[in-house]
């Protein structure tokens, strides 16, 4: 109760607080948005930069996407761009591209990595894998060259992005021959300037391939419940993450309302940071008082208020959006905890602010 009262006092005194999710379920994100609206704050996700890399492309030019289930039952070729996937999605290949019965006859399955082959890739898949040493920062160049070759034009260069033209042509022919091909990436791993242009180049190439066969993209996300935050914020406000309630109505500016920009430019005077999934995700450094709702065991040094919270899918039921952003997965409670959920703690702060008026 003391912590709740202190948190409510900080937010009542703040002129523009910043509210950051670094991992909470649907209910927790709904409560965070309601609190942001109440105190006229900015709400963002800690992975906002990665989310916007994909969203800019989807918003500007669109893409032809697929789902995990479609890959499992139809795909005969998966091309992984700029990421080994398994670092963030350790069961991706086991669940979607392994040795199991499928709904349709697929035939031989093949993997191409534009980068290193993951060290923990199952042996059965390793024998059906190829890799090309493409630096992620040169993906836009690489896929632009593929579009040139696909259009039947000749490249005078002997290599593109460090890859010989012969290997580039070999990949192109394999992609053209696929019955159901998929190009996938994790935007969080494409952390370089203008990465959204690389993603756009990949998506435009896949659109071109669909004039001959069936090919799709699969932008993988969900780290620290970032897709959950995006979904909830969109249906609650009409905007993705980085929503500003300071005017009394939700507004969105992907640069101005980013958590990093607001902190670096001293534009916020209080912070709420929620990380119910990972105790290692700690709040960014800043001069303003910080209210932290974290998984038990978090070392949030220097914060003004710390409230330990329970974990969705472990200590309480909840919902999180899946890595392909199409299904809200129901999480069951499997262990007891005396700690409140993030949603409960945020609601108590909100109630304390209302009672003060």
Q: Is-contact 217 202, C-beta < 8 A?
A: yes
Q: Quick: pLDDT tens for 259-278.
A: 999 999 999 999 999 999 99
Stretch 49-54: mean pLDDT: 93
Q: With bands split at pLDDT 50, 70 and 90, how would you rate the model's confidence at 64?
A: very high
Backbone phi and psi for residue 220, each to the nearest 5 degrees, phi listed first? -90, 135
Q: What percent of the chain has pLDDT over 70?
A: 99
Averaged confidence pLDDT in the chain: 93
| Count of other CB atoms within 10 angstroms of residue 301 | 10
Helix axes 139-150, 165-177, angle to 10 degrees: 70
Q: Is-contact 342 315, C-beta < 8 A?
A: no
Q: What is the pLDDT of residue 100?
A: 66
Q: Quick: pLDDT tens for 70-94.
A: 999 999 999 999 877 888 888 888 8
Q: With bands split at pLDDT 50, 70 and 90, how would you rate the model's confidence at 107?
A: confident
Q: Quick: pLDDT tens for 179-200.
A: 999 999 999 999 999 999 999 9
Q: What is the DSSP string of 45-89?
A: ETTHHHHHHHHHHHHHT---B--HHHHHHH-SEEEEES--STTT-
Q: Is the pLDDT of residue 346 over 80?
A: yes
**Which strand ranges, in their side-by-side order, compose the sheet holding 77-81?**
129-132, 110-114, 77-81, 181-186, 215-220
Q: What is the pLDDT of residue 106?
A: 72
pTM: 0.91
Q: Quick: pLDDT tens for 308-317.
A: 999 999 999 9
């Amino acid at each position: 109760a003391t912590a709740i009262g202190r948190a409510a006092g900080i937010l009542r005194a703040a002129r523009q607080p910043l509210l950051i999710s670094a991992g909470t379920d649907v209910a927790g994100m709904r409560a965070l948005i309601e609190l942001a609206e109440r105190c006229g704050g900015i709400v963002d996700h800690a992975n906002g930069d990665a989310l916007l890399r994909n969203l800019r492309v989807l918003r500007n030019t669109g893409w032809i996407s697929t789902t995990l289930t479609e890959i499992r039952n139809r795909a005969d070729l998966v091309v992984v761009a700029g990421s080994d996937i398994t670092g963030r999605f350790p069961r991706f290949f086991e669940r979607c591209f392994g040795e199991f019965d499928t709904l349709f006859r697929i035939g031989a399955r093949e993997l191409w990595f534009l980068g290193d082959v993951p060290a923990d890739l199952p042996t059965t898949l390793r024998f059906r894998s190829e890799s090309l040493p493409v630096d992620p920062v040169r993906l836009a160049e690489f896929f632009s060259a593929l579009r040139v070759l696909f259009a039947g034009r000749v490249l005078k260069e002997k290599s593109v992005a460090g890859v010989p033209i012969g290997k580039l042509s070999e990949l192109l022919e394999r992609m053209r021959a696929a019955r159901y091909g998929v190009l996938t990436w994790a935007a969080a791993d494409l952390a370089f300037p203008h990465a959204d242009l690389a993603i756009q180049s990949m998506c435009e190439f896949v659109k071109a391939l669909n004039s001959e066969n069936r090919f799709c993209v699969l932008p993988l996300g969900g780290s620290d419940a970032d897709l959950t935050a995006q979904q909830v914020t969109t249906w609650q406000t009409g905007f993705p993450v980085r929503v500003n309630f300071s005017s009394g109505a939700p507004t969105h500016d992907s640069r101005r309302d980013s958590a990093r920009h607001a902190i670096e430019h001293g534009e916020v005077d209080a912070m709420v940071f929620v990380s119910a999934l990972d105790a290692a995700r700690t709040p960014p450094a800043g001069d303003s008082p910080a209210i932290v709702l974290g998984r038990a065991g978090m070392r949030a040094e220097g914060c003004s208020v710390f409230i330990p919270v329970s974990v969705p899918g472990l200590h309480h039921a909840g919902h999180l959006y899946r890595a392909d952003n199409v299904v809200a997965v129901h999480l069951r409670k499997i262990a007891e905890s005396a700690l409140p959920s993030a949603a409960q703690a945020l609601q108590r702060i909100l109630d304390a602010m209302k009672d003060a008026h």
